Amino acid sequence: MKRFIGRTLFLFCAVISFNAFAQKTQNSAATPITDNQGRIRYIIDFTKEATQGQPTHIKPGEPLNDGLPDWQKPEMRYFAKGIAKKYGLTPLSTTSWVGNSITAYLTHGQVQALENDERVTLITQDMHLGFSSYVSPPWGDSPPSPDVPDGEKISWGTAAVNGGNPINHTGDVKVYVLDSGVGYHTDLGGYGSAQVQRYNPNLVPNQYPWQWFNPVGCYAHATHVAGIIGAQANNSGTRGVNPGVPIVSVSTGDSAGYLCSNSSLSTEDRYIYGGYTVASAISVGLDMIMQLVIQNGWYKPGIVNMSFNDRFATTEAANVFGYGSTLGNKMYALTIPYSGYSYHYAGVFIVQSAGNQYGDACLHAFNGYLGGGANPYDGIMVVGGIDNSGAPVTPANGSFIEPNGSTEVGSNYGRCVDVWAPAQKIWSMWGGRAFGTPPFPYTGDQLSTVAYSTIDYLSGTSMAAPHIAGVASYLAETQNLTTPLQIEAAVRAHFNFLGHYDHVGFPIYMPTLP
């Protein structure tokens, strides 16, 4: 039995509809992602068996010329070609490692036809998703002061988890930052440093030979996240939880190409589009991460940081990150090791921000295996945010007014939160201008040709998640851990009760490194 999920939203406010079991969707109340023909963009998920019988190698002398990258499995590319011909659609992207899916613009008639295809398991309207951070000061009134005349400014968050201690990195353990695209920064070794590898799996439409979008995003959110994880111990700027750990940046810049190279965008548009991503870009990013982990070698699990959420879901069933939904299924698939004839996959351990709506995290982040909430055996940890007293960030700690006037009042909570970490006024690397710098006070512009040295602070569960990614990478390296479940168990083994409870009574635990 398949599910059809209809999702409609505006950029900052949303109207959401959920239709189960192939019921007709109604989209007249809002504006989905459409092309110039009025077709709506969807992610179409297929069964695991859908590609069986397709060629597993590109036929010699018969290039596919399908505009899809060659790191995708050939059988999926041949399958997508057949689906395109049968239904008259054009695949914008596919996934083949974390599950079989195609993203495409569809008419209502094509959606109805696909609903009747037994190989289709989910049809999900593509949507904008928000990063889980907000500019300073979100939960306090201290003015930002990014100037650090001498030495390093170590965030209280790094100290809280007892991080910042340099170790010799072998390169076996890598942290994959699935985000807006990590920029160049002196705290990551500057321009051309070997500490960071950068990818953007999103292809420029209608370009052949293939052309990828810039892997450095215009909004410095990913740079800030990467700094919390692994900014170097170099007596300048700031320092990460696991200084110098290898980082692989996988950009979620969507197919509209809202990147720094597009100088025609207004400053406000750069913030808006840099601060959001789309579900289909995350889907392709997860797929690329699995392929990169396979490339990295045998028995070397990765660690993935995801500092974004479904900001607008109003039911757990409508949460695109929930188990049984298109992104939740791909996240879970990513954690499962696999050994086969042609390759070995060591799996990944995933940390995801809980979100900043001061509501049930189960509506906005991964909700556990089978939707059962936080689970110590699924290789995924959802991270809530605390202040520097160890208490969850709540309306009592203050609130943040976004540029459009809406309020983000505190960390999400509840049965789907696995762990808590620092989230209030966290210092880390930043882009070209500090917050509060004219002409627009909320920008974090960064160019792909400049290595910045700016630092500033952000707040939100976007900042909590990378603290756990840093802790996990340190433990994976120092304890020679070889599976995602071993990494999660090690993080949990270092839990400390902080003496506080969340809004619904769950205790607040945070790991502390030895």
pLDDT surpassing 90 at residue 247:
yes
Closest CA to 335 of 289, 374, 296: 289
Which pLDDT belongs to residue 398? Answer: 53
Residue 161 and residue 471 in contact, taking contact as beta carbons nearer than 8 Å: yes
Q: Output the pTM of the full model.
A: 0.85
Task: Name the domain count of the chain.
Answer: 2
Q: Distance of CA 364 to CAs 331, 398, 508, Å?
A: 14, 21, 19
Confidence of residue 22 (pLDDT cuts 50, 70, 90): very low
Alpha-carbon distances, residue 118 vs 2, 47, 48, 89, 426 (angstroms): 9, 9, 12, 18, 48
Instruction: Please check whether residues 137 and 120 belong to one and the same domain.
Output: no
Domain boundary among 126, 149, 171: 126
* % of the chain at pLDDT higher than 70: 77
Q: How far apart are CA 441 and CA 435, in angstroms?
A: 6
Give all strands (DSSP E) within 310-389, no chain letters.
Answer: 338-339, 344-345, 348-353, 380-386
Q: What is the mean pLDDT of the chain?
A: 80
pLDDT greater than 70 at residue 269:
no
Q: Which of 78, 110, 126 is the last residue of a domain?
A: 126
pLDDT at residue 38 in the model: 86
Closest CA to 462 of 227, 268, 258: 227
Same domain membership, residue 15 and residue 162: no
- Please identify which residue in the block is written with the tokens 């055996």: 377
Burial 291-306 (b: 16+ CB within 10 A, else e): bbbbebeeebbbbbbb
Q: Which residue in the block uniquely carries the two structure tokens 């170790």?
A: 167
Q: What is the C-alpha to C-alpha distance for residues 290 and 345, in angstroms, rounded to an integer?
A: 8
Q: What's the pLDDT score for residue 14? A: 25
Looking at the structure, tell me whether residues 109 and 199 fall in a common domain: no
Establish whether the linkage from the previous residue to 209 is cis, with ω within 30° of 0. yes
Instruction: Determine how β-strand 348-353 pairs with β-strand 380-386.
Output: parallel
What pLDDT was estimated at residue 128? 72
DSSP string, 454-471: -EEEEESHHHHHHHHHHH
- Asked whether residue 458 falls in the same domain as residue 323, the answer is yes
Top mean-pLDDT range of 21-30, 209-218, 448-457: 448-457
* Residue ending a domain, choose from 126, 150, 182: 126
pLDDT at 263: 42
302-306 vs 276-278, strand pairing mode? unpaired
When pLDDT is cut at 50, 70 and 90, the band that residue 424 belongs to is: confident
Query: Which residue in 445, 459, 464 sits closest to 409, CA to CA?
Result: 459
The pLDDT value given to residue 150:
55
pLDDT of residue 357: 87
Sign of torsion, CA 95 99 100 105? negative
Name the nearest CA neighbour of 347 among 481, 234, 513. Answer: 481
Rounded Cα–Cα distance for residues 405 and 238 (Å): 31
Q: Return the pLDDT at 211.
A: 60
Q: What is the pLDDT of residue 133?
A: 53
pLDDT for position 296: 80
Does the pLDDT value for residue 25 go beyond 80?
no
416, pLDDT greater than 90: yes
Give residue 200's pLDDT.
83
Beta strands 184-185 and 348-353 are unpaired
Judge whether residue 233 has pLDDT over 60: yes
Task: Give pLDDT tens digits for 63-115.
Answer: 777 778 888 899 999 999 999 999 999 998 899 999 999 999 999 999 999 99
Question: Does residue 67 share a domain with residue 148?
Answer: no
Confidence at 389, pLDDT banded by 50, 70, 90: confident
User: Which residue, 194, 290, 229, is CA-closest to 462?
Assistant: 229
pLDDT in tens, 42-60: 999 999 999 999 988 887 7
Assign 430 a pLDDT band (cuts: 50, 70, 90).
Answer: confident
* Residue 302 to residue 293: CA distance in whole angstroms: 6
Q: Which of 18, 82, 15 is nearest to 46 (CA)?
A: 82
CB 241 within 8 Å of CB 467: yes
Least confident of 196-200, 225-229, 502-506: 196-200
**Quick one: pLDDT at residue 344?**
87
Domain residues for 32?
3-126
Helix H or strand E encompassing 248? strand 247-251
Span 433-450, average pLDDT: 56
Q: What is the pLDDT of residues 114-160, one digit of tens each?
A: 999 999 999 998 877 766 554 432 333 233 344 444 567 889 999 99
- Specify whether 8 is located in the same domain as 31: yes
* Whether 46 and 155 share a structural domain: no
Q: What is the pLDDT of residues 332-358, one digit of tens each?
A: 999 999 887 778 899 999 999 999 889
Do 48 and 74 fall into the same domain? yes
pLDDT at 363 over 70: yes
Does the pLDDT of residue 12 top 80, yes or no? no
Residue 239, Cβ density class (10 Å: 0-12 exposed, 13-18 middle, ≥19 buried) = buried
Residues 341 and 462 in one domain: yes
Are 87 and 145 members of one domain? no
Q: What's the pLDDT at 511?
A: 96
Rg (CA), the chain: 21
| C-alpha 86, offset from chain centre | 33
pLDDT confidence of 460, banded at 50, 70, 90? confident
Using CA atoms, how far residue 235 sits from 247, 447, 457, 477, in Å, is 20, 24, 18, 23
How much is the pLDDT for 152?
Answer: 79
Report residue 267's pLDDT band, with 50, 70 and 90 as the boundaries. very low
- pLDDT value, residue 418: 96
Beta carbons of 452 and 434 less than 8 angstroms apart: no
Residues 57 and 149 in one domain: no
Please give the residue that has the higher pLDDT: either 424 or 249. 249
pLDDT band at 261 (very low <50, low <70, confident <90, very high): very low
Same domain, 366 and 395: yes
Kindly tell me if the per-residue pLDDT of 435 is higher than 80: no
Exposure b/e, 485-498, CB count within 10 A at least 16 = b: bbbbebbeebbeeb
Query: What's phi and psi for 2, nearest 5 deg?
Result: -105, 160
What CATH number did the domain enclosing 135 receive? Answer: 3.40.50.200
